[in-house]
Every structure is written in C-alpha cells, then in structure tokens.
Amino acid sequence: MNPSELAHEPLPLRIKRRIKRAMGPWGVFLQGFLEHPVMVGSIIPSSRFTIAKVLAPVKWDECKLFVEYGPGVGTFCRPVLERLPRDGMLLVIDTNPLYIDYLKTTISDSRFVPVLGSAADVEEIVRAHGHSHADYVLSGLPFSTLPDGVGPAIASATHRVLRTGGAFLVYQFNSRARDFMAKHFTHIDQGYEPLNVLPCKLFWGWKE
C-alpha cells in the first residue's frame, strides 16, 4: 500500500495497522486467533521449553523433510531451521492466509516452504514439492476444537505420509489428540511441559 492509499484508509483500519505493527509477531498471532479461534491452539505462542522438549527426539542427520501443521507466526519454524540439515526442507501448512503471508515476508531461508492449505491434504502437498514421504510431522493444531471428521482425517493422512521410523510430534492442552493418533500409531511416547502458557501435553507417535 502506497502513502496516498494509506492517507485515505479509514481511521480504524489505520489504528489497527499501527497496533499490529507495534506488537510485531505477537500481534499477528493474536489477530489470527481472534479471527479463527477453533483453528489456533492457544492465544500465546509456545515457550522455548516446549519447543526444546518437543524436538528433542528428532534425529536431524536423518531428516530430509520436516512438515509442520499450523505454524502460526513461526514459533517452531526458526528452531527447526536451526537444526535442519542444509539439504533438508521445512514444509509448513496453514489454512490461514494471514500466517502464510507473514511467514513468506519474515523467513527467507531457501529450505523453508509455506503452503496455504489443509493438513488433511498433506500427502498431495508433500508429493507436489518433490517428496514421497516426510521424516517428521509436527502439529499444535487443537484437535479438540477442529470440525467433525478433520482430526481423524489428519491423523490418518499423517500416518500414511510418514516414512517407517518417522514420527508425528504433537503438543496439546488435552489428550484428545492421542485418541486420534492411537488408531494409527501403536507406539506413542508421552510427555508434559509445565513451563508453557498453558502447561501442555506432548505426544510422539512413531511409525513402526
């Protein structure tokens, strides 16, 4: 938007734009939550303690494709890229164009690929980007509030797209996600991170 267009923008929109700019990524995250609360797991991004614990089991030297559902403003994206091999790819999928547009303008890493779409379509998205499978899939999507049928579809598609030995990494505020995972993953490790707002439950579903 050029200066002349900004000058004619309604005052409430100008105020909203200034507030969001001043708040930085947290403002973008909050806006996404307010617009689509059932698709965002929390009003507060995950803590560094949660990030470290969720990613701890990943064997990075064996990771060529890491997929994330619901990346938001990139809370996990940057830590993943710091650990990902130089020839790896981080493919993130979100239904909210606000987040995808924000990520495109703030992360310039050539290994980073943001996609506007549904996690239920992960198989088609992965193939469209030159891969036959994913090594790890990360999700903070709120399984307990997703529309009927979406949670089971995501869990099923995730199991199919993972390679043998790969894992579905999930962080949630309740255990409903595990119920969806258990129908496909026979080996699920569990954890808990109290130093998060809110404290969250962690699940690692391994494809055997």
Judge if 176 and 113 occupy the same domain. Answer: yes
Judge if 138 and 178 occupy the same domain. Answer: yes
* pLDDT tens for each residue of the chain, 208 residues long: 444 444 556 655 564 455 445 545 655 656 655 565 545 555 577 899 999 999 999 999 999 999 999 998 899 999 999 999 999 999 999 998 988 988 998 999 999 999 999 999 999 999 999 999 999 999 999 888 888 999 999 999 999 999 999 999 999 988 889 999 999 999 999 999 999 988 999 999 999 9
Judge if 31 and 69 occupy the same domain. Answer: no
**Domain range enclosing 167:** 38-206
**C-beta contacts of 123-129 below 8 A and 24+ residues apart:** 123/157, 123/160, 123/161, 125/91, 125/93, 126/65, 126/67, 126/91, 126/161, 129/89, 129/91
Number of domains in the chain: 2
What does the pLDDT read at residue 19? 44
What does the pLDDT read at residue 72? 87
Judge if 57 and 132 occupy the same domain. Answer: yes
Judge if 23 and 101 occupy the same domain. Answer: no
